[in-house]
Amino acid sequence: MAETLTFEEMLKKLEQVVKELESEEISLETSIKKYQEGLELSKKLYEKIKEAEELIVEVREWDLINT
């Protein structure tokens, strides 16, 4: 996954992976690949959320200092 995706795009992609995994029509090999893809997307989404949380904390601290 070399392309840079937005948070929303990654979330949509993860939702699609979950739907595909819930399908009974995919092979074990495909399921494993999709599971790995889902894990990678989950990690990246978690990192984005942590970055956003850190930014919110910084903004709040700045606001408290400057008001």
Inter-CA distances, 10 with 25, 46, 55, Å = 24, 11, 20
Taking 70 as the threshold, does the pLDDT of residue 1 lie above it? no
For 16-59, write each residue's pLDDT tens digit: 999 999 988 999 999 999 999 999 999 999 999 999 999 999 99
- Dist. CA 46–CA 28, nearest whole Å: 27
Give the model's pLDDT for residue 42.
98
Domains annotated for the chain, with CATH where assigned, are 7-65 (1.10.287)
- Split at pLDDT 50, 70, 90, the class of 5 is very high
